[in-house]
Every structure is written in structure tokens, then in C-alpha cells.
Chains A and B, each alone.
Chain A
Amino acid sequence: MAKDGFDVDVPEGPVVTKDAEPEVGHQFFYFSEPTEEETTLSITVVGASGDLARKKIFPALFALFYEGYLPENFTVFGYARTKMNDEELQNMISQTLTCRIDKRENCDDKMKEFLQRCFYHSGQYNSENDFAELDLKLREKEGGRVPNRLFYLSIPPNIFVDVVRCASRRASSEKGWTRVIVEKPFGRDSESSRELTRSLKQYLAEDQIFRIDHYLGKELVENLSVLRFSNLVFEPLWSRNYIQNVQFIFSEDIGTEGRGGYFDHYGIIRDIMQNHLLQILALFAMETPVSLDAEDIRNEKVKVLRSVRPFQLEDIVVGQYKGHSKGGKSYPGYTDDPTVPKNSLTPTFAAAALFIDNARWDGVPFLMKTGKALYTKRAEIRVQFRHVPGNLFRGNIGYDLDRTTNELVIRVQPDEAIFLKINNKVPGLGMRLDRSDLNLLYKARYPIEIPDAYERLLLDAIEGERRLFIRSDELDAAWALFTPLLKELEENKIAPELYPYGSRGPVGAHYLAAKHGVRWGDLIDEYL
């Protein structure tokens, strides 16, 4: 198995990436030693001319190829409505391919080899005939080997079901597996999400659907479970006994920038909170799973989601950015975006407080905050611990014990890092305390480039590893939490609190935190 070829230091075999389909997996994983039945992999990117395909999917596929993770026999097909020939597709792709910075040798050669495996087929998304033609071409390339087929749907949600229908009826693999990767949005609320799932399941079995949440593919999100479950020092701390609150923060320093049409229909809560942040919360808060198998992990995540108390309107603060001039430059407000209705109430910022009503987390506020057009681009998890009961050094700390508590910060971006804030004595005569940190800065420790989330997720889908993909019941539970709130926001036409482009967001977020006795960690330590 390619992934485990990487595990040079680990004497034992495959561990995490257990495949759920051993009969297929076995043949596939030892592709380099031909067995009686050789397999081949065909990856079809549906919506090949789109932005995501060009910027993320093709480059990720190339990176996997470059690193030797793709099977020996593979074919990449682009499928879209645009008329294009293979040559033109290859041209288009080549413009966005880059080599990992730490290994540039033979990059050109590798690119050429990769592009030779890329083909194009033009067709309508709802035409079974066009997919039948694609099937013919795929068969040709597959040359009688056992074909495994992966479809990546990089298309708008309203045509998901059409494509799935056509692909599954006309271009499914007969002997190998067929899997479909679907991108968000997975509906707008419980009903539409359920409707989408029902339609997909008309043509696909649950284990063929790979709902991607690219945040789960981020290195430090992957590392979260490693930190929690392979370090004894965190084990006793991970509960209401020691943790005072947990914060999930995701901010972007850009607005919709003329591409607000899609966004305006969804808003930041659906776009970021209901999926990315909630998923990370579930991973953070889940009980120890029986094993690292996808089903075991997803079972635990669903349990967390189902224990979360449904939102009240007062548990959330919404905001929208407005125009702002700074240093002679003027930044447009959200409703200045020509693709956004002038009277739009869609939130571009939201902060929320969640509670998990189970034995481990009862009473611990989980705060989430996300927004566009803020002062910084950042994604992090902050765990604030309780204060030391009966602290001997109380006199040195001052009256507010909660301001000098330990804090564990897992910074997902930028500059991946883990740090643990501790109280420490300032060297010197006398007894002065200082909050410093025990830290691990990835850049310093691991000079290699960290792979893009899409690489990991594509590889996992190829290998049938479902751990980082969202199961239908997880999705249901996530929507069940947010749907009543979203409806209430829309029905009551709640006006978002306006905040200037490039600011720290609406101050309402602080009041929300204050209500639960929390301070946002990211706005205190600017230097970190």
C-alpha cells in the first residue's frame, strides 16, 4: 500500500488506513506485484473546467502521482460541457501544476508523464448517452484490467443528482468499485440535505458516497486525534474537570470579492460552521473510539453531535462586513459586491456557543467564531483550562485567576503549530510569574512541505479510507443542530451586526463569550 510505504520508521504494517473492502483492497494495494487480475484506476473529474478542479483537484492528483502514491495503471478523465480536446485539457492543467518545493527533481518529466494520462470527454451533466460514451473511452484505457472508478463531482449542487444518476447507470465499474466524491454544500437545511441524500442513495450505496470536508484533511486536524490518544499527558485533562472552554476559530482576511452569488444563498453558518467547525468539534470532543477504523470514529462523532444542545437564537451573534477605508485604500462592503443583493442579510460572520450535554462535557462552553473580511487569516483550536484551585501563587497572579490559566493552542493555519501556555518563573532574583509557552512550530521541526488537504482526501477515497469523509447520519445530526436556528434567523430577518472590512469582527462576539465566562483567546495574544 502506497501510504504505508511512507512509514519507514514503523516496523508494523498498515494501521490506520484499513480498507473496508479487503477483496478489492488487497489486489490494489499490491499493484506493483502483478497478481492474476491486475487492476486499474480511473479518476473522472466532473466539472473539469471549473475553478476547484484546476486549482485543487488536478494539482493534488499530480502531487500524488509525483510522490508515487497513485497505482501504476491509472487514467485521469476530465468531463465537462465545454468542447475541448485532450490537448487543450492537458494545457489547461499544466498551467496550475507545481512540484512540492522540497523535491524538484524530474519535475518536468513527471509532469509530462502525468499529462499523458489525462484525457477529456465533453458532455452534458444530465445525459446518460454522454456518460455511456465516457464509459467506452474508460474501458479502452482500462484495457481489460479490473477497473476501479472514482468520480469527483466538482459541480453545482443542483446537478449532483443528475450526474450521479448518469454516471452510476452508464459508467459504473462492473468488476471493481465505483466511488463518488461530493463537495459541499450538502443541502441548505435538514430537509434539503435529506432530500439530496435520498436521491444519491437511489443510485449509490452509502459506502460509495464520499462527502468531502477538506478541513478534515488538514494536517493538524489529522494530528488532533494523535495528540489526544497517543499522549498520556492529555488524557486526564480532556474533560469538564480540567477544561474551562474550547474555542474554534476560523477567519479569512478577504471578502466575497465579486463572487458572492453562491455565498449569499448560504451564508457563513452553512458555509463554515455547520460543516468544518462542527466536524472539528466532534473530533475534539468524541469519546475514545474502539479503533481508528472509519466506522468506529464516525460512530463516536455522531454521538457527540447528537448530544449537542440545539441552538437558541441568543447563543449566536451574526455579522456582516461593511466598506472601510484604510491608508487611502477603500475596501468594499459585502453588499457592495455586485453579485450580492443590496439588502442582503446574509451573515458573513458568526459566533456561537454550543454545549454538549454528556458526562464528559456538561457545562463546558464550546465557542465557535468564523468570518470573512477580518483582520487576519487564521484557523485554530484553543483549549482553555480551569484555574489552579487554591493556587499557592495567587498573590503573584493577581485577582483574575482565569487570565493566567493554561491554554493549549492547535493552530491549523497559517504556520501550523501546537503550543501549550504555561506559567513560569521569570528568571532572576525574586518571584515573578510569566505566561510563556511550550511550543512546537511545524516549520522549524518539519522542513518538508505539508501536503494539501485535497491530496490526502483523494488518496483516502482511492484507498476506500472513509475516516475523513462525512457519513449520512453525521450530516443529518449536524443539520438537525443548525436548521431551527437558520430558519429562525431567516424568518425573523435578524439584521447582522455590521463590522468594518479588515476589523476584528463585531463586538457582539465578546458579549456572547462574556455571557459564558469566556474570553476569546485569539484577540488577547496578538503576538502569537
Chain B
Amino acid sequence: METLHRASSSCWHPSSSSYSSLPESRNGHMRFGLGLVKVSSISKRTSQRISSRQVRTNPNSNVVRMQDGAVATKIAPIEGEISPMKRLKDGISPTTSSQEGNDLASFDVKKDESTVSITVVGASGDLAKKKIFPALFALYYEDCLPKHFTIYGYARSKMTDEELRNMVSKTLTCRIDKRENCSEKMEEFLKRCFYQSGQYDSKEGFTELDKKLREHEGGRIANRLFYLSIPPNIFIDAVRCASLSASSANGWTRVIVEKPFGRDSESSATLTRGLKQYLKEDQIFRIDHYLGKELVENLSVLRFSNLIFEPLWSRQYIRNVQLIFSEDFGTEGRGGYFDNYGIIRDIMQNHLIQILALFAMETPVSLDAEDIRNEKVKVLRSMRPLRLDDVVVGQYKSHTRGGVTYPGYTDDKTVPKDSLTPTFAAAALFIDNARWDGVPFLMKAGKALHNRRAEIRVQFRHVPGNLYNRNFGTDLDQATNELVIRVQPDEAIYLKINNKVPGLGMRLDRSTLNLHYAARYSKEIPDAYERLLLDAIEGERRLFIRSDELDAAWALFTPLLKELEKKKVIPEYYPYGSRGPVGAHYLAARYNVRWGDLGLEQ
């Protein structure tokens, strides 16, 4: 397999400037450090070239990055790619860019040597329509896709290319900050979209697809990405057929798999084993779209590029950490899939535990995917498996408010009337390592709650021997510092601090030092799927879940899940649109924690 490189670089704008002090530096003014360097004379293309770089990081590779979005390769396929993150880092390092830019500018342009084909298996499904095609279009619009690419939809429905395009075009939108040429771009994009109908377990269908893909690839080095947007029970079939009949002969073949990755340790292991019959570990891209969220990406930047957080990040200063995820709607007639899994598997075992691992891991050796994932696995393996009394489960019931009646979970026609599946769960987890011993990590996830929110809250300890104790009253823990990273809605980071209320006298107040993304960054934040698709195309595995991570995550939750099901633990009911079952408060209280999201102040 050879590497495909980040082909064009407007997605890195301004690609060669890694460090800016002002948002407007995107537009042709590159700021290195804090000094302003105007490079308006350098065209966008030049800067694209500057960012495209392979030569330096991997001198042994015969892969050459070309200008203008073309991924040019003098290919002899190589196993084991150079770390993309390394490339990424160097790629945007201002220290190397100018020199590299010169180097690269002198290369001959060898065009059209490789191509990428993206096949969306399950193209007529909801996820494909709402997320995958729009994300692909956004990447195309931002010039992040290679010059040569083909998109195939694959599903059982009979459809023509035209019909697929029609379907896709309905959900495409342009990023709000760049609307120029949107319709032209859409047309161009749709011209690259094709459809192949076939059964998911039919080698013939995939052979047919392979033939068509070859046609479009036209003899170039063919890289193929399959996005499995299909139910889990047909994962293996599709992988088998795709791998046997539609693998790339001379490029790489990668498969993106969506959750659920099994229901427990055993079924997950079976699935992994099944996948590995046909794919190698480095071909499997298990997507957790939460890891593609902007502020989750930023978590590592915050932690590791700001000295001020360094001494704070341990049991010595942190009292507890809260990972909160809530949705303000229920299953709404689509509970069939959910009922088989429940909120713990659907949100906690993957999204929240992944964020927890990123939050709590030791500093990795580098930003390379393997280094980061090694550290994450260590965290997961240091955790105590959950016990039944560390968890509170809930299920929403119907509720009437202002004349509108909201249905309960079991009112959903697709859900069995006697379902005990939790739609809410709160859990306390502990990491038994030197850094986190004794610090409760609280998680809370639920459907049909009073708001939609995803955030990380870090509550610090109280100031020992606080001189201002008497101003705070009896409960010192209520006036501690708190760092909040709000992933959605309205991305923001804020640090709650104690402050003197201006005026005569000494009255303290908890105010915030904050960074509100919408105010600071006027640009629309890309959807998580864009980032993840791009990473998969580039072979960047940092945000995908490795098999051993998945195993470790299941090992934590499986005993609990089995016990819940075996004992038929009845969930605590909570009204649709409420703050969830009060049991969550008692769970928190047991560990001396107060949920930060339900306090008086937000």
C-alpha cells in the first residue's frame, strides 16, 4: 500500500502558517508566531505547494507531493505508512515551509497518477444522505479531496446514477462562510458520483462495482475507501465481498466501519475476528464521530500546548471530571435499533469513554496515531470495571407540557412495551493509576432531556487554607474553579474563577474567563464527518479506534451490561424533557460531586 497524501491544502488554510494570532490571518496574511509576515504575494497555489510535503519527512519514500491538489506519485507500493501526523506537523511548520516550498516548486509536475474511489455502502440510508455525502461535498468544496476521485453509492435499491445524484443533491449545502460558486461546485461534484446496485453479500455485485471503479480509475494507482453505512449484521458479508472482489490491486484499500462494534466483549471480539479474516488492522477505520468534533480535537491542544494546565492535570488539583451528553429528543419512532443496544452501549461505551481516555492519558511520545492510541489503551486498562452500584439507569416516560404530549420511550411503536432498555445512564468511573487515583470521573448520557448538550467539566479542588473562606460560606466545594469545554451547542471553553465584585467592600463572585468560539472564529466549524473522512483518506488513524482500545472499552462495560440485563434492573423513569432521574444526583453525592450542568449558574 502506498500513501496518499493530503492532496490539496486549502483545508489547511493558510497551509503553511501553523500559528496565527488573529483569525483574519486566514486570508493571505500569514502570521508566524506573533510577528506579522505578509505573504499576500504568495498565491494560494503556492501555499498549497508549500504545505504539500513528503520529501522531508520520508526521504526514503518515492512518493512526491505535487502542486495543485494532484497527488502525484512515483509509486512503488510501500507497506507501513509514515505517520501522517508527523507529516501533518511538519506540513504546517513555518520553519520548514519556505524552504520546502522552494524545493517543491522545482519538481516537475507529474499528474494524474493516483486516484481515490470512495464507495458508500448503504448509500440510500439516512447516515449516507445526511452526513457522508454532504461531508464529501464539503471536502471537495474546500479542495481537500485529491484531483482524481470517484464516489460510488452501493445499495440494494435499484437506482440510476442520475437518481442517486438527485438524492444526494437534496442534502448538499455550502459552508456558510463561502457561498461563491456553490452550485457550480455541486454540479462538478455530482458528476463524480455514480451508483451501483447490488446485494451486500453478493460477490457478483462487488465484482461489478470493481469493474466500474477500474473504468473510472483509468489505469492510475487506485486507492479505495469503503464506507460501511449498513447494519452491523451485514458488516462481515460486505467486508468479505468488497475485500475479495473489489480491493485495489495496486493502491490501498480501507474500510470505515460505524458503530455498533458488537454488543459486548464477545460479540465485539467476534466482529473483529471476522473483519480481520479479510482486512489487516491498518485497513480498518472504526469511526467514532465524537472524536472528530472540533473541541475534542482541541482537548489535546489545550492540555499539551499550554503550560498553565500542566501542573493542574492530576489528582492533586482536580477533584472530579464530568462528561455530559444529552439529547433533547427521544427515539421518535426509530427505537428498533436503539432498543437492542441502550444508551450505555450507544453513547457511554464509545463516545464518552473515548473522550475520557483522551482527557486522562499520559503525554504521548508524539502526536502519531499509534503513540496516542497506546496511551489511551493504558488509561482504559487502568480503569476499574463498572459495578452495578456505580451506575444509575433511567428511561423516559411521557410528559404533557403546554398542551403538547411528549411520548414515553415505550410509546414508541418500534420499542417493546415492556422494554427495560435505559435511555439515560449516569456512571462513576475510576482510573487506578498514579495520576488519577481516587478522582471520580462521572459520566451522564441521556435522551429526551431538557437540553442538547455535550461537555466536559473539570472541577478543581478547593483552595487549601483559603484566606477568603469566610466570604464563601460553609461549602467550600461550591466555589471551586471549574474548566468547561463545551463541545455542543455553541463551542466554548471557559474557566470559572473567583473574582471580586467591583465596588467598595469585599464580595466575591464566580465569573468566567471565556472563549466563545462563535465570537472568536467566525468560520463555520466543519462537521466531524469531514475531518474523519479526510483522515481516513490520508491514512491518519489518530481519531479511529484500534482493536485493543475497543476490547479494553468493552471489558469495562460488559460485566455491568450483563448484570443489568440478567437482573432485569428497572430503570428510574423520568419525564420527557426533564433533567433526568434524580438518582444521578445521589450517585454524584456518594462521591462528593455535584453535577456542574445542573447548578444555578450556567
Contacts and interface: CB of A to CB of B under 8 A. Distances in A.
Do chains A and B interact in one complex? yes
Interface of A: 3-4, 6-12, 15-17, 64, 67, 69, 219, 222-223, 225-227, 229-233, 235-237, 241-242, 288-289, 291-292, 385-388, 390-393, 395-400, 403-406, 408, 416, 418-420, 422-440, 442, 445-446, 448, 450-451, 455-456, 459, 524-525, 527
B306 A406 contact: yes
Given A393-B305, A397-B305, A432-B12, A404 B19 contact: yes
Most A Cβ at <10 Å: residue of B20, B307, B363, B465 = B307
Contacts of A432: 12-13, 17-20, 92
A524 B34 contact: yes
A292 B468 CA distance: 8
Nearest to B299: A425
Nearest to A13: B470
* 7 closest A-B pairs by CB: A395-B89, A438-B513, A236-B311, A6-B505, A430-B12, A16-B506, A403-B33
B312 A233 contact: yes
Given A67-B504, A231-B497, A395-B90, A226 B468 contact: yes
A59 to B, nearest CB: 14
Contact of A430 (B88, B95, B306, B511): B88
Given A233-B460, A424-B301, A431 B468 contact: no
A15 B317 contact: no
A448 B462 CA distance: 29
A359 B448 CA distance: 56
A413 to B, nearest CB: 13
Nearest to B483: A233
Given A397-B18, A422-B306, A431-B88, A451 B525 contact: no
A396 B92 contact: yes
A426 B508 contact: no
Given A4-B505, A236-B317, A398-B33, A428 B525 contact: yes
A446 B502 contact: yes
Contacts of A408: 308
B248 to A, nearest CB: 24
Contacts of B467: 225, 229-230, 288-289, 291-292
A437 B19 contact: no
Interface string B507-531: 1110111110100110101100011
A424 B517 CA distance: 11
21 contacts: A6-B503, A6-B505, A15-B470, A15-B471, A230-B479, A232-B480, A387-B307, A395-B18, A395-B89, A396-B18, A403-B33, A404-B34, A404-B305, A422-B308, A423-B306, A424-B493, A426-B521, A429-B11, A436-B515, A439-B514, A440-B497
Contacts of A235: 463
Nearest to B534: A429
Contacts of A387: 307
A433 B19 contact: yes
Chain B contact residues: helix, strand, loop or mixed:
mixed
A7 B310 CA distance: 35
Given A6-B505, A12-B470, A395-B18, A423 B301 contact: yes
Contacts of A525: 21, 34
A527 B363 CA distance: 34
B506 A7 contact: yes
Contacts of A390: 363
Contacts of A440: 497, 499, 511-514
Query: What bracket does the count of chain B residues touching chain A fall in?
Result: 35 or more
A232 B317 contact: yes
B93 interface: yes
A356 to B, nearest CB: 21
A388 B310 contact: yes
Contacts of B509: 9
B498 interface: yes
B111 interface: no
A47 B12 CA distance: 67
Contact of A416 (B142, B308, B498, B502): B502
Contacts of A437: 513, 515
Contacts of B17: 432
B473 to A, nearest CB: 5
Contacts of B479: 230
Most B Cβ at <10 Å: residue of A227, A403, A436, A437 = A436
Contact of A231 (B92, B498, B514): B498
B465 to A, nearest CB: 8
A527 B22 contact: yes
Contact of A425 (B34, B94, B294, B460): B294
Most B Cβ at <10 Å: residue of A404, A428, A429, A525 = A429
A416 B501 CA distance: 12
B346 interface: no
A283 to B, nearest CB: 13
A406 B305 CA distance: 9
Contact of A398 (B94, B304, B525): B94
B144 A429 contact: yes
A392 B526 CA distance: 24
A385 B505 contact: no
A403 B34 contact: yes
Nearest to B473: A11
B491 interface: yes
Given A392-B304, A432-B92, 4 more contacts: A12-B471, A404-B34, A423-B305, A450-B503
Contact of B514 (A11, A438, A448): A438
Interface in B16-64: 17-23, 32-35
A396 B526 contact: no
B503 A451 contact: yes
B335 interface: no
Contacts of B468: 15, 226, 229-230, 292
A424 B93 contact: no
Contacts of B501: 446
Given A10-B507, A398-B18, A429-B12, A392 B305 contact: yes
B212 interface: no
Interface string B524-557: 0110001100100000000000000000000000
Most A Cβ at <10 Å: residue of B11, B481, B499 = B499
Contacts of B312: 233, 236
B390 interface: no
B495 interface: yes
Nearest to A69: B504
B525 A406 contact: no
Interface string B292-323: 00100110111011111011100001000000
B500 interface: yes
B461 interface: yes
A418 to B, nearest CB: 7
B591 interface: no
B366 interface: yes
B358 to A, nearest CB: 13
B494 interface: yes
Nearest to B513: A438
A371 B491 CA distance: 41
Contacts of B366: 392
B301 A433 contact: yes
B456 to A, nearest CB: 15
Contacts of A400: 33
A295 B367 CA distance: 52
Given A12-B473, A236-B317, A6 B507 contact: yes
B117 to A, nearest CB: 21
A459 B503 CA distance: 12
B77 interface: no
A364 to B, nearest CB: 14
Given A10-B473, A386-B307, A219 B317 contact: no
B233 interface: no
A118 B599 CA distance: 50
Given A288-B467, A395-B90, A438 B515 contact: yes
Given A232-B462, A396-B18, A427-B294, A388 B306 contact: yes
A405 B307 contact: yes
